[in-house]
């Protein structure tokens, strides 16, 4: 068995992949079984199916339903070693990745697929009052916050405070914000409807705030308008063209007025991981690393970047969007290309072929039985058929069979009953009263 | 709709139940629909199926698989209000329960079903190094500790440290310790077997330590011997007659010698909740409140106690064991008795009938396909048939249909594949290196 990690002086690793998201995992899978030692580094021991994270935040799914141990996914790939660790930097001269624990992992080819994080546009003081949705811990914290607000409302005697506790504001009209708002409205107006004795959860206010003129700017206007209508039918108050001016423990300030809200969820901005800093490069204003068509980092031979952390332009010169399908296609492409380049007849010498993105359809779910799909070039789908397609696609994309069966079962059950199985308050209570 | 909580001056509550475990929940269910206002108080918003908690700690099930929102269970019982709160004490003169948040909840009848907690027999300094298994948070912490130890072992270069990281000690030879040890052995020797490149998880050492002369003292000697054999076949080293002398960050001290272990799990002692203090009563040495045959607390009219926190003797004068089935039967009995006493023709005057325990069989699971069952009076079952019966019973006992289907599916899947779906390291890292 090859020894990719080699703390004991075995052959040094050749390919190091940082990040086990859709991109990094696809690279590792494409290299599985090759005669190349590969090391995959991630700060977690699991691959997270981020597109369904909002369902964990709204008690529809459990963390384990959308996360799969990385080692398990790659257990059949003896040439791929997995390291659970936090990357602190890259020493490009010595060709080694530095981990936070002080250890280093040498590489000959480095693939950076570290994704993106939330940004508060310089208002980091908003963060404690408005958690974002990037990790299982954050999803669990949001779930706890929403459910705890209803518990407090049930015991509140002051009508104003009760109303504040039953107001949830979602900031950001992108897919994350739209899906969160719709899912929270369902949770409050259906799943919790009969569970309280003093409050009526169906009167809970869910407000979706977007600074831009409309929702879902990545989608055609007609689909975005349909999505807005669907959300409003679910009871979501959509406020576009209104920028958030402040967020604190009492609520959100919009247009000079304070909207009292006990729960605020941040889905407004993402910024690429600090990979550019690691490489001493100037990122674009979203923090992304510019890459060549073959995904190689310009000016850093032997280093590649993909997914949300890379700025990759299509043939028309347009930057590719930060979508799971982009990262996954890039990862598969790069993994195969490296495999050929490093093991093929002309090993090492052949330049990598350019990446070409194939749009498999961009989707957003708007409530329990509606979704929108945009396949580009005017081809679209919306409503229940789109929801069915979305559900089918996401179930198939889930890594593990048992997960698929479990998620199918839960979706079916939840669809038939409006129930939410994972309504547990387990994270430490929110800091605010 | 009746108004059991009545923050707004509606009729004051009559029956207050503290604790939504098997006992308290059974009382509430028996009172559901009665013309009696009932308030159920618990520190969590969910009922936890504690007998399966060890499967969460060993990554076989997710928290939501064994926990069900209390409000959801009682959503069809309009006369039962649920309060999520921590009880700080009881004012028996004013007949009110004091919560940690300073609020009070008045009662006319009070049922205390607050269960038990772990005790370290005066060695509370052991607690940070040896978590027990009483809550979802603890189960998640144990899961994280065990999995993180293997991650560290994979990267460890010092053989001694690697061996320490791959040694798990379970303290306590009762059902909890036996089930934990068996399940951890399976996790290490099967589920993780092919997932690492430098360590061989099948060489992980699982040690079960019991101070007494044998395991499972609550079971007949033959069944306990069988259980020991089953554990040893799973690769568990069973050490009976050895008391733990010390536990620290390096490991466990037994018989003067230190057993280096990165993971220590405490399953040795339980102590009743502090309910006796609340009532100003002298508890027995396990902290339990002595109760009369009708479960009323002696010397505290209108107050009842049941489950792990009550000392209830059977006809032979033997204390009833701390089992879920005892608490559940007591809860159903008390709930029905109170319903009759408070709503029947001779409301208020009739004394409550005495509780009689019917042994439905005491079980412990020893590994993937073996269990022991003791039905008393010499009737027993062991091995695979016992495991099947145990699995069937526990699935049926689970509260919610969707849960049952999910748990069935996962058990079947895990049984066929040895897989563990919930192998997520999500709790904050363990304090020790």
Q: B93 Cβ partners below 8 Å, 6+ apart?
A: none
Distance of CA B331 to the CA centre of its chain: 16
Contact A194 B75 (CB under 8 A): yes
Whether residues B131 and B260 share a domain: the answer is yes
Contact B197 A72 (CB under 8 A): no
A400 CB within 8 Å of a chain B CB: yes
Q: Which two tokens stand for residue A37?
A: 């030692």
Mean pLDDT in residue range A161-173: 97
Kindly state whether residue A371 falls inside one of the protein's structural domains.
no
Q: Where among A343, A373, A406 does a domain terminate?
A: A343
Whether the per-residue pLDDT at A359 is higher than 80: the answer is yes
The model's pLDDT over B124-136, given as tens digits with 9 standing for 90+, comes to 999 999 999 999 9
SS3 for B129? helix
Whether residues B150 and B223 share a domain: the answer is yes
What does the pLDDT read at residue A361?
86
B83 CB within 8 Å of a chain A CB: yes
Whether residues B113 and B191 share a domain: the answer is no
Substitution target in A9, A64, A72 with the highest count of B β-carbons within 10 Å is A64
Whether residues A290 and A251 share a domain: the answer is no
The model's pLDDT over A72-111, given as tens digits with 9 standing for 90+, comes to 889 889 999 999 999 999 999 999 999 999 999 999 999 9
What does the pLDDT read at residue B346?
61
- Return d(Cα B170, Cα B187) in angstroms, integer: 14
List the CATH number of the domain containing B291: 3.50.50.60
> What average pLDDT does the structure give for chain B?
88
A404 CB within 8 Å of a chain B CB: no
What does the pLDDT read at residue B193?
84
A298 CB within 8 Å of a chain B CB: no
Mean pLDDT in residue range B192-212: 93
The model's pLDDT over B281-313, given as tens digits with 9 standing for 90+, comes to 999 999 999 999 999 999 999 999 999 999 999
How many domains are contained in chain B? Answer: 2
- Closest partner residue to B426 among A76, A137, A156, by Cβ? A137
Whether residues B159 and B250 share a domain: the answer is yes
Kindly state whether residue A433 falls inside one of the protein's structural domains.
no
- Return d(Cα A134, Cα A131) in angstroms, integer: 9
Whether the per-residue pLDDT at A417 is higher than 70: the answer is no
Burial (Cβ within 10 Å: 0-12, 13-18, ≥19) of residue B194: middle
A 17-76: CB under 8 A from B: 44-46, 62-65, 67, 69, 71-72, 75-76
The model's pLDDT over B399-416, given as tens digits with 9 standing for 90+, comes to 555 566 666 666 666 666
A361 CB within 8 Å of a chain B CB: no
Substitution target in B2, B43, B69 with the highest count of A β-carbons within 10 Å is B69
Kindly state whether residue A9 falls inside one of the protein's structural domains.
no
Residue whose C-alpha is closest to residue B307's, from B336, B334, B277: B334
Kindly state whether residue B418 falls inside one of the protein's structural domains.
no
Helix (H) or strand (E) holding A115: none
SS3 for A132? coil
Sign (positive or negative) of CA dihedral B406, B408, B409, B415: positive
Lowest mean pLDDT among A37-46, A382-391, B95-104: A382-391
pLDDT higher for A413 or B107? B107
B 259-278: CB under 8 A from A: none
Contact B151 A194 (CB under 8 A): no
- Closest partner residue to B413 among A5, A194, A402, by Cβ? A402
- Return d(Cα B40, Cα B382) in angstroms, integer: 38
Contact B406 A403 (CB under 8 A): no
Whether residues B163 and B249 share a domain: the answer is yes
Kindly state whether residue A427 falls inside one of the protein's structural domains.
no
What does the pLDDT read at residue A377?
81
Give me the domain span that covers residue A109: 15-118+270-343
Q: Show residues of chain B in contact with A421, CB under 8 Å.
A: 64, 400, 402-403, 406
Pairs of residues, one from chain A and one from chain B, whose beta carbons lie less than 8 Å apart: 153
Whether the per-residue pLDDT at B10 is higher than 50: the answer is no
CA distance A351 to chain B (A): 31
Mean pLDDT in residue range B188-200: 88
What does the pLDDT read at residue B431?
41
Kindly state whether residue A8 falls inside one of the protein's structural domains.
no
Q: Where among A343, A370, A389 does a domain terminate?
A: A343
Q: Show residues of chain B in contact with A201, CB under 8 Å.
A: none
Kindly state whether residue A338 falls inside one of the protein's structural domains.
yes
> What average pLDDT does the structure give for chain A?
88
CA distance A8 to chain B (A): 7
Mean pLDDT in residue range A370-383: 88
Q: Show residues of chain A in contact with B423, CB under 8 Å.
A: 45-46, 69, 72
Nearest CA in chain B to A192: B72
What does the pLDDT read at residue B314?
92
Q: Which two tokens stand for residue A259?
A: 């909207």
Whether residues A138 and A94 share a domain: the answer is no
Whether residues B85 and B217 share a domain: the answer is no
- Return d(Cα A97, Cα A155) in angstroms, integer: 53
List the CATH number of the domain containing B208: 3.50.50.100
SS3 for A139? helix
Active-site amino acid positions of A: 179
Q: Where among A205, A239, A268 does a domain terminate?
A: A268
- Return d(Cα A425, Cα A192) in angstroms, integer: 14
**Are the beta carbons of B148 and B22 closer than 8 angstroms?**
no
Contact A147 B419 (CB under 8 A): no
Contact B151 A409 (CB under 8 A): no
Whether residues B205 and B330 share a domain: the answer is no
Whether residues B171 and B82 share a domain: the answer is no
Whether residues B166 and B262 share a domain: the answer is yes
What does the pLDDT read at residue A173?
95
DSSP-assigned letters across all residues of A4-40: SS-TTS-SPPSEEEE--SHHHHHHHHHHTTSSS-EEE
Whether residues B203 and B257 share a domain: the answer is yes
The model's pLDDT over A109-126, given as tens digits with 9 standing for 90+, comes to 999 999 999 999 999 999
The model's pLDDT over A250-280, given as tens digits with 9 standing for 90+, comes to 999 998 999 999 999 999 988 999 999 999 9
What does the pLDDT read at residue A133?
93
The model's pLDDT over B245-255, given as tens digits with 9 standing for 90+, comes to 999 999 999 98
What does the pLDDT read at residue B150?
95
pLDDT higher for B342 or A334? A334
Whether the per-residue pLDDT at B78 is higher than 60: the answer is yes
A202 CB within 8 Å of a chain B CB: no
Kindly state whether residue A353 falls inside one of the protein's structural domains.
no
Whether the per-residue pLDDT at A410 is higher than 70: the answer is no
């Amino acid at each position: 068995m090859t020894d990719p990690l080699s703390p004991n002086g075995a052959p040094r690793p050749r390919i190091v992949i940082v990040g086990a998201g859709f991109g990094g995992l696809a690279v590792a899978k494409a290299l599985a079984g090759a005669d190349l030692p590969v090391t995959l580094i991630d700060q977690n021991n699991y691959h997270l199916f981020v597109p369904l994270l909002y369902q964990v935040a709204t008690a529809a799914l459990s963390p384990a339903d959308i996360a799969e141990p990385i080692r398990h996914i790659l257990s059949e790939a003896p040439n791929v070693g997995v390291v659970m660790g936090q990357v602190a930097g890259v020493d490009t001269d010595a060709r080694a990745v530095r981990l936070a624990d002080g250890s280093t992992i040498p590489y000959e080819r480095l693939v950076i697929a570290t994704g993106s994080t939330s940004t508060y546009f310089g208002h980091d003081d908003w963060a404690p009052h408005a958690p974002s949705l990037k990790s299982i811990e954050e999803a669990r914290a949001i779930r706890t916050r929403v459910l705890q607000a209803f518990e407090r409302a049930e015991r509140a005697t002051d009508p104003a405070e009760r109303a504040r506790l039953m107001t949830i504001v979602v900031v950001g009209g992108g897919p994350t914000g739209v899906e969160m708002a719709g899912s929270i409205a369902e949770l409050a107006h259906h799943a919790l409807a009969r569970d309280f004795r003093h409050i009526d959860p169906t009167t809970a206010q869910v407000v979706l705030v977007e600074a831009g003129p409309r929702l879902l700017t990545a989608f055609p206007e007609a689909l975005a308008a349909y999505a807005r209508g669907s959300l409003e039918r679910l009871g979501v108050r959509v406020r576009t063209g209104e920028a958030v001016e402040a967020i604190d423990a009492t609520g959100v300030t919009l247009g000079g007025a304070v909207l009292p809200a006990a729960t605020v969820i941040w889905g407004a901005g993402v910024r690429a991981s600090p990979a550019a800093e690691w490489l001493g490069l100037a990122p674009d204003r979203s923090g992304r690393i510019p890459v060549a068509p073959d995904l190689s980092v310009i000016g850093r031979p032997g280093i590649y970047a993909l997914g949300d952390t890379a700025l990759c332009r299509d043939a028309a010169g347009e930057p590719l969007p930060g979508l799971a399908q982009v990262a996954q296609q890039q990862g598969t492409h790069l993994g195969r290309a490296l495999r050929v380049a490093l093991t093929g007849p002309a090993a090492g010498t052949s330049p990598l072929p350019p990446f070409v993105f194939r749009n498999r359809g961009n989707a957003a779910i708007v409530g329990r039985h509606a979704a929108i799909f945009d396949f580009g070039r005017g081809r679209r789908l919306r409503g229940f058929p789109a929801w069915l397609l979305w559900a089918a696609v996401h179930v198939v994309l889930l890594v593990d069979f048992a997960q698929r069966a479990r998620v199918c079962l839960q979706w079916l059950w939840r669809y038939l009953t409006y129930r939410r199985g994972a309504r547990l308050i387990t994270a430490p209570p929110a800091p605010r009263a």
